[in-house]
Amino acid sequence: MNKYSTIQRKILVEYLEKHHDFALSAARIAEDLAGENISVSAVYRNLAALEEEGAVRRMAKSGERLAYYQYVGMEKCRNRIHLSCTSCGRSFHLDVKEADGLAEALLETEGFEINREETVLKGLCAECRAQG
């Protein structure tokens, strides 16, 4: 697929890079970028292209039909297991040592090899747990 480098795409990618810790809906992204003259259809079109390229991960939150998108195109996201807070929506990278240990344990005990780039563990972050 040809990668089109448009001003809209550049603005969208810059926005996603700044918000890489969060999974955001296309509507929220379009709303945040409304002042940049980016149409909702351009947001959806570019998100679909970025997803196909592997730079964006699409996901759903439990109990919701809405799709959420998270930017994973940065080098520090490659080959990393992500932790996603089900309360605030923030994402974190699992430390490499812990990710290696988890992957090795699953392979050894279950014979199961995980795809790190596709693996997202859901739970509560420390801040949300502290808030009760």
**Which fold is adopted by the domain 79-132?**
Dna Ligase; domain 1 (3.30.1490)
- In the chain, residues under CATH classification 1.10.10.10 are 1-73
> Phi, psi at residue 33, to the nearest 5°?
-100, 10
- In the chain, residues under CATH classification 3.30.1490.190 are 79-132
Pairing mode of beta strands 91-93, 82-85: antiparallel
pLDDT tens per residue, range 83-104: 888 888 788 888 888 888 999 9
pLDDT tens per residue, range 52-76: 998 898 888 777 788 889 888 766 6
Architecture of the structural domain at 1-73: Orthogonal Bundle (1.10)
Region 21-46: what's the mean pLDDT? 92
